[in-house]
A and B are shown apart, each in its own frame.
Chain A
Amino acid sequence: MLFAGRALLVIALGFALYGVFASLYGAQLRKQAASAMRGRAWIASGRRAMYATFATAVVCFAVLEAAFLRSDFSFELVATHSSTTTPVFYRAAGAWSSQEGSLLLWVMLLSGWSSLILYLTRNRLREVAPYATAVLLGLAAFFCGLLVFLESPFTQLSPAPAEGIGLTPILRHPAMMIHPPMLYSGYTLFTIPFAFAIGALVTRRLGPDWIRTTRPFALAAWLCLGVGVILGARWSYSELGWGGYWAWDGVENAALMPWLTGTAFLHSAMIQERRGMLKVWNVSLILATGILAVLGTFLVRSGILQSIHAFGASTLGVPFLILIVSMLAGSIYLVATRADDLKSENRLDSLISREAAFLLNNLVLVALCFVIFWGTFFPLISEAVTGQTQSVGPPWFGRYVAPLALILVLLSGLGPVMTWRRASWANLRRALAIPAAVGAGTVIVLLAAGVEWKPGALAMFGLGAFVLTVVGEELWRGVRARRAMADESVPTALVMLVARNRRRYGGYIVHAGIAVLFVGIAASSTFRDVRDVRLTPGQSAEVGGALITYTRPTGEIVVARNGGLEKIQLGAEVEVRRGDDVRILRPGRSYFPAGDPSAGAVSRYFAGEATSEIGLDTGVRRDFWTSVAPETDRLDGIAKRGDAVFKQAESLPQGERAALLGETLKRMVGAYRDSAPPATFRTLVSPLVTWIWVGALIVFTGGLLCLWPVPEAARRRVRAGYAARVARELGRA
C-alpha cells in the first residue's frame, strides 16, 4: 500500500502539471480562429486533469486513512501519530494531525473545490477559466511536489513496530476532527476567487462576471474559515487548560487575516456588482486574501515564528517562501499593468450611502488585518531592522484591535439602514432613532445595575444592542410590508421574507451574530475573574461570588477497547455553590504513558504527555471553569520504588509481569484517592462567554442562508430589486 500511495502521488503531480500545460496551451491556441477548436479541446482536457487530480488525491487519502484505521505501523506516519489504544474516532483524525497528512488534505480539498467550480463554469467564463485552471492546478502541483519530494506521507518504517506512539493527547478533542478540515477548506476555497481574479487580469475581462461566479466560493471560504477559527477557539478554551480562547498566537492570527480581508471583499464586491466601482480595490483584496491563505499554511508549517503551533525546524520554509513571493510579484505585476482596465465606472455620490459605509468597513477590516500582520511578523521585522528579535503580546494587540472592533460593530448596524447612492439625513435619523436610544439605554441600565465602569466593554454592549435593534427593525419592516401585501401571519411572513431574499437577510443575521459574538468577547475578556487556589479535600474558597469546595480526590485508569492502558486520570470532585444553586464539577488531569521504557516500568505511565480535563459549568450569564493540577509527589515516590522492583523482576514471564504492573497502577490510583492530597485549582469566572459560541452559530446560520442556492425565478425577482424596494418604501411610509 505504501508503494501504491507513493505512485498515486506521482500520478497526481503528473495530472496537475499536465493540466497547467493543457490549459495554457489551449488558451493560446484558441486565440487564433484556425486553431480555436483544438484550443477548446485542450482547455477541456486541462479541466479534466483537475478532476483526475482530485480523484487521485481522494484515493491517496483513503489509503492513508485506511492505514490509520487498521493501525498499520509499517506507515511511519501511523506509527508516530496513532496507536492501538488511540480511540477510533481520533485515529481517523490522526491523518491530518501530521504535517504530511495535512498537506495531502490540502491537495484533496483544493482539487475538490476546484473541480466543483470548473464543472460549474464549464460553459461560462470561457476566456478566464483556462488561466484560473492553470493557477489552481499550479497550486495543486506545488503541494503534490512537496508530498512527492519533501514530505511523503507514505514513508515505510522497517521493521514495523508492534505499537505506535499515539496521537498527541492535546489533539484528542472532538473539535480537532472538524477544525483542520474547516480551516483548510477555507484556505483552499479562497484560492478559487484568487485564481479567477488572476484569470480576469490576464485576459482583461474585469467586469463583474468573475466576481458573480466565484462569490459563492468566497462566501463558503469565509464561512469555513470562520467555523475553523471558532472551533480552534473552543478547543483552546476547553482543552488547553488555561481557560482562554484567543492568545494572539501567530498561527491563530494567520487564520484570522484572510478571514478579515475576505470579509472586506464580500462587502466591496457588492459595490462592484451594483455600481462598477472599486475594481482595483476588489481585485487587490482577493489577491491579498489568496496570498494570506497560503501564508497561513506557511506560518503553520515553516516554524518561522515562535508559537505554540510552531513545530520546530521544517524543510518547507523555502519552497513556501518562493511560492508566496511568486504569487505576490505576479499579482502586483498584473494589477499594475491592468490599471487602465480597472477604472471605476462611477464615483461615490455621497458619504451618506451604503457604498461609503462599505468602504469604511473595508478600511477598518484592512486596518485590522494590517495591525495583526504587523504584530505577528514584528519579531522578523525587528530582527531585520535592529538585529534583535522583539515581540509584542496580547495587550498590544488589544490596544489596537478593540477600538477598530467597536467601529466595525457600529458600521454593521449602520450599513443595513443606508441606501445605495445617497441616503437622506431625514430617513437616516428616522431609521436610527430607536436603535440609538436602545443602545444608549442599555449602557445606562447596565451602569445603574452596578456594572463596573469599563468604557470599551460598555461601548460594545451599547453597540451590540444598537445593531440587534437595527436588524430587528429591518426584519419587522419587511414583515409588515409582506403583511400589507398578502394576508400572512407574522411567522409565515418572516420565513417568506428571509427565504425570498436570502442574501440580504442572511447578511443581516450575520451582522446580528457578529454583534452577539463581540458582546461575548468584550464581557468575557474585560470582566473575567481568574484565581489559583490550593485546597486540601474538604477545604473551601470564595471565588468570583461562588463558594467552591474540594469534596474529594478522584482517580481512574482508562482502558482502551483493545484492553491496553490509554491513560491514568487523577482529579477532583468540586462543589460550586452560588446561593441555593449547587453544581458538581470533575476537573482532572490525564497522564498518558511515555513511549520510552527507560523512564521506568511504573514511572512511564506518568511520564508521557499530560492534558487537563476541565470542569465546566456553562451558563447564559457566566461560565464557571476550573482545571486542577494534582500534587503527585507521593505517587512519584511510589513509582520510583516500583521501577526498582520491576527492574529486578525482569525475568518474570510477560503476562505475569503485565498483571502485576496493572495491579500496582490500580493500587497507586487507589492510594491517590484515599490519601487526600492537596491540589491547585485554577478557577475562572467568565461572564457571557457562551454568547461567543451562540453568536458564531448565528453568523454561521446567516452565512448558510446567504450561500443556499436561490431558485432561478426568485433570483430574477431579487435581481430586479423590485420586491426589496417596495418593502422598504412601504415600511418607511
Chain B
Amino acid sequence: MAPRRKRRRRLIGLLAAVVLLAGALIYTTFSASSEAVTPTALLASAQPGQSYQLTGKVEPGYERRGSALHFRVRERDAKAGSPAVPVTYEGTVPDPFRADREVIVTVRKQDDGFVGERDSLITKCPSKFKNENPNQKAS
C-alpha cells in the first residue's frame, strides 16, 4: 500500500476512535449527571428515586439531631416564609455552613421530605472570601 494511503487510513482509524470515545463520554455524562434545581422547582416536580442537585440558601433555625443535620433550603432571593425544601443530611458538614449561606446538596425525595446524599453538601464561600463591610455591620 502506498505510504500516503496507509497514513490516511491510520488517520481515519484514529479519528473514528476519537469520535467513538467522545460519543461515549457525552452519552455517559448526560446519563450520570444530576439536575441542578431551585427549591421552588424541586417542590413542584420532584420524582421519587431521582437525584437532584439542590441550590439555595439555608434557612435560619437548622438543627442537628443525633448524627443527622436537619435544615431547610429556600430560594436565593426569597423572603422569610416562602416555600423551602426540608433536607435531612448525614455526613460531612463543611466548616462555612450556616444560616443564609448558599449551599449545593444532592437530594432524593423520600416520603414528605428530602434526604441528602452523604458527603454531598457544599457551602459556597461567602462572596469572594470577603466579609461584610465593618461599618455597615456595626450600624
Contact = CB atoms under 8 A, between A and B. Distances in A.
Nearest to A533: B67
Contacts of B93: 629
A393 B135 contact: no
Contacts of B106: 393
B129 A392 contact: no
A584 B84 CA distance: 43
A299 to B, nearest CB: 14
Contact of B134 (A164, A309, A310, A370): A164
A609 B125 CA distance: 11
Given A400-B25, A597-B138, A391 B34 contact: yes
Contacts of B138: 161, 595, 597
A313 interface: yes
Interface stretch (A371-379, A462-470, A476-484, A685-693): A371-379
Given A76-B133, A166-B131, A242 B119 contact: yes
Interface stretch (A34-42, A382-390, A567-575): A382-390
A313 B127 contact: yes
A439 B73 CA distance: 51
Interface string B23-37: 001101110111110
Contacts of B133: 76, 79-80, 157
B54 to A, nearest CB: 11
A423 interface: no
A326 interface: no
A310 B28 contact: no
B73 to A, nearest CB: 14
Contacts of B22: 370
B127 A309 contact: no
A80 B128 CA distance: 11
Nearest to A99: B128
Given A164-B134, A611-B95, A391 B124 contact: no
A396 B33 contact: yes
A391 B94 contact: no
Contacts, number: 142
A159 B67 contact: no
A543 interface: no
A81 B131 CA distance: 7
Contacts of B30: 382, 390
A610 interface: yes
A308 interface: yes
A452 B127 CA distance: 44
Contacts of B21: 367
B30 to A, nearest CB: 7
A306 B119 CA distance: 16
Contacts of A390: 30, 33-36, 53
A388 B124 CA distance: 21
B131 A168 contact: yes
B42 to A, nearest CB: 12
Given A391-B53, A532-B91, A97 B129 contact: yes
B136 to A, nearest CB: 10
A308 B128 contact: no
Given A79-B134, A595-B131, A312 B33 contact: no
Given A390-B35, A391-B53, A393-B34, A241 B94 contact: yes
Given A98-B129, A308-B125, A610-B95, A392 B67 contact: no
B135 A168 contact: no
Interface in B113-135: 119-120, 122-135
A589 B112 CA distance: 34
Contacts of B58: none
Contacts of B32: 392, 395-396, 399
Contacts of A334: none
Given A99-B128, A311-B129, A375-B29, A240 B94 contact: yes
Contacts of B124: 306-308, 310-312
B129 A378 contact: no
A612 B66 CA distance: 19
A524 to B, nearest CB: 16
A382 B25 CA distance: 14
Contact of B128 (A312, A378, A388): A312
Contacts of A310: 124-125
Nearest to B99: A607
A532 B32 CA distance: 28
A403 B96 CA distance: 35
A605 interface: no
A312 B127 contact: yes
Interface in B1-49: 21-22, 25-26, 28-30, 32-36
Interface in A599-639: 609-612, 629, 631
Given A374-B25, A391-B33, A595-B137, A680 B67 contact: yes
Contacts of B67: 532, 534, 680
Given A98-B128, A165-B134, A596-B137, A308 B29 contact: no
A351 to B, nearest CB: 10
Contacts of B125: 168, 308-311
Nearest to A590: B95
A311 B125 CA distance: 6
B87 interface: no
B53 A161 contact: no
A611 B35 CA distance: 30
Given A168-B129, A308-B123, A240 B95 contact: yes
B96 A165 contact: no
Interface string A127-158: 00000000000000000000000000000010
A273 interface: no
B29 A378 contact: yes
A170 B95 contact: yes
A204 interface: no
B34 A311 contact: no
B95 A612 contact: yes
| Residue of B91, B104, B128 contacting most chain A CB atoms (<10 Å) | B128
Interface string B88-112: 0011111110000010101000000
Contacts of B28: 396, 399
A682 interface: yes
Nearest to B122: A308
Contact of A80 (B90, B104, B120, B130): B130
A163 interface: yes
A25 to B, nearest CB: 39
Contacts of A610: 95
A171 interface: yes
A98 B127 CA distance: 10
A187 interface: no
B95 A534 contact: no
A306 B104 contact: yes
Nearest to A169: B95
Contacts of A680: 67
Nearest to A400: B25
A396 to B, nearest CB: 5
A374 B90 contact: no
A185 B93 CA distance: 33
A165 B130 CA distance: 9
Ranked 10 nearest A-B pairs via Cβ? A165-B131, A311-B128, A390-B33, A389-B36, A312-B127, A161-B134, A242-B92, A396-B32, A99-B128, A611-B95
27 contacts: A80-B130, A157-B134, A165-B131, A165-B137, A169-B95, A241-B94, A306-B36, A306-B53, A306-B104, A308-B94, A312-B127, A313-B127, A371-B25, A374-B26, A388-B35, A390-B35, A391-B36, A391-B53, A392-B34, A399-B32, A534-B66, A595-B137, A597-B138, A609-B96, A610-B95, A631-B64, A682-B92
Given A157-B134, A390-B53, 9 more contacts: A79-B134, A169-B95, A307-B122, A308-B94, A367-B21, A371-B25, A378-B29, A379-B36, A390-B35
